[in-house]
Amino acid sequence: MERLSDVLRRTAIGAENTARSSAGADVPKSDTAPDAELCPVCDGLGWVSRELPLDDPDFGKLIPCVCRAEELKSERFRRLQRYGQLEPFAHVTFDSLESELARYAVNEKNGPYVDALAGARKYAAEPDGWLVLHGPAGSGKTRLAAAVANEVIRRGLPALLVSVPDFLDYLRAAYAPNAETPFDSLFEQVKEAPLLILDDLGVQSATPWAQEKLFQVLNQRFIERRPTVITLSRPLLEMEPHFLSRLTSPEVATLLATGAASSRLRATDALDLPRFHEMTFANFDPRTYDALDRRQHQSIEGALNTSRSFAEQPDGWLVFTGDNGVGKTHLAAAIANHCRAKGIETLFVVVPDLLDDLRYTFGPQSDVSYDELFEGVRTVPLLVLDDLGAHATTSWAQEKLYQIINYRYNAQLATVVTMNISLDELAQDEPRVASRLADPRFSIAFNIDVPNYLLRRNATPQLSESRSRRGRG
């Protein structure tokens, strides 16, 4: 996807060129082949001029011929999609969303998602004020917002979709003296967009600067009642008070709840499987790691204490490395179970299984789109990635994992990662991912340096028996 600043700059230049052309450019050359049948109105030029008096202000101006009207309409639609950063969602329409509900027996059919779909369609028909979409990750908020934008630009009106973390990154970059698009220009274009879609409000870092810039955008659009669609990345009541007062204003905002996460996102979550569901802090006992030296005992005790602290206040990233069977997955699942019990939306995925689920969405039997599953994984408030590095290192797998990890890194979303390889080994195949996992400003990397507990536990009876036999001999 192009950078927002590039899209806006190119669009502005295109608008200037269009204005110059309409003010008196030569007739564009026709692309019609010599042997093609020419339009009887314009003789294949594609442009005509009207018969008007000499003193008419429109005398001599060119207008598109009827033979080009549909082509120009399609070109404008594609241009508006590029402007709005909607090309990845080009296929998302209200009709396609309703077809999915009709085709698949998904749980949303009996929940609030159907009402949200109807409400979003109504808003798109006549955008006025704000539309605020809230619900858990994977419940379809971004796709509903994209359907609104596509419906609006289908009627020839511009709409701009921006992810809040990306928008803030663009603004920071615009401060640079050599920035291609100055800060003021970029900031004003977003504030003044005819229809603005802010995706993932609430996921941004809570720095005073970020809060101020976002509030300036929202407050101006609130005062002017500019059409704005907002998707929330966290529960409505957890939003900052000055945002909440505007998001819930009955005079300006319409609130739509999208309901539960999609069935496929829930199927991707491994935490409900008996093995992972039973992994808690209560049944993680470092004393079972017998025959350890002092340094190894300190390692496993440190891993447990770090996990407990993270679970009480999930913030930043926690990366566990170490051999198989040292307790990494148990501690990661214990964090996930603890946070889910506290009401924090949590997703626990085994990385190879996650990649399989993403591939499955491209098949005709999938009950969820790739965009919906991918957005649900990358935006969930707490994500546990188990067995990173155990997946096949195809270019597709590397790119998808990097997109998930890079987004969560920029958005500073709480993430727990377990790996059977070291960060140095990961850097050999995936240096971009490794650099983010190793960032000490945001991530705690903890190597659990103990022997494989499972192998030792299974091997102990056999070892005792062989010793007993040798003793009897």
Distance CA 183, CA 400 (A): 31
Query: In this structure, which amino acid lies at residue 365?
Result: Q
What are the structure tokens assigned to 264, written together? 């496929």
Asked if 241 and 312 sit in the same domain, the reply is: no
Burial class of residue 396 in the structure, from the number of CB atoms within 10 Å of its CB (0-12 exposed, 13-18 middle, 19+ buried): exposed
Q: Do 216 and 294 reside in the same domain of the chain? A: no
Which residues 6+ apart lie within 8 Å of 343 measured at CB?
Answer: none
Based on the structure, what is the number of domains in the chain?
2
Q: Are residues 386 and 428 in the same domain?
A: yes
Nearest CA to 262 among 361, 332, 341? 361
> Is the domain of 246 the same as that of 273?
no
Q: Give me the CATH number covering residue 347.
A: 3.40.50.300
84 and 133 together in one domain: yes
> How open is the CA angle 144-145-150, to the nearest 5 degrees?
95
Asked, for residue 73, whether it belongs to a domain, the answer is no
Tell whether 394 is covered by a domain.
Answer: yes
Helices and strands of the chain, counted as H and E runs: 19, 12
What residues make up the domain containing 215? 78-257
- The answer to whether the CB of 284 falls within 8 A of the CB of 327 is yes
Last residue of a domain, one of 228, 257, 286: 257
Listed in order, strand segments (DSSP E) in 290-370 are 317-321, 346-350
| Alpha-carbon distances of 90 from 86, 102, 147, 339, 354, rounded to whole Å | 6, 21, 9, 36, 24
Q: Is 342 helix (H, G, I), strand (E, B) or coil?
A: coil
Q: Are residues 411 and 319 in the same domain?
A: yes
pLDDT in tens, the chain (473 residues): 444 445 444 444 344 443 333 333 344 444 444 445 778 878 777 778 878 888 888 787 887 777 776 665 555 545 544 545 667 777 889 998 887 766 544 443 446 788 889 999 999 999 999 999 988 777 788 889 999 999 998 887 888 888 888 778 777 776 777 766 666 777 787 888 889 999 888 866 667 888 888 899 999 999 999 999 999 877 777 788 889 899 989 899 999 988 766 555 666 788 878 888 889 998 887 766 566 778 888 888 899 999 999 999 898 999 999 888 888 999 999 999 998 887 777 899 999 888 888 887 787 766 667 777 888 888 888 999 998 887 666 788 888 888 999 888 888 889 999 998 888 888 888 888 888 898 988 899 999 888 776 554 544 443 333 333 333 33
**Residue 208 belongs to some domain of the structure:** yes
Residue that is last in its domain, among 216, 240, 257: 257
Tell me if 101 is assigned to some domain: yes
Q: How far apart are CA 60 and CA 354, in angstroms?
A: 61
Domain identity same for 274 and 148: no
Residues 106 and 263 sit within 8 Å (Cβ to Cβ): yes
394 and 306 co-located in one domain: yes
pTM: 0.49
Rounded Cα–Cα distance for residues 387 and 420 (Å): 7
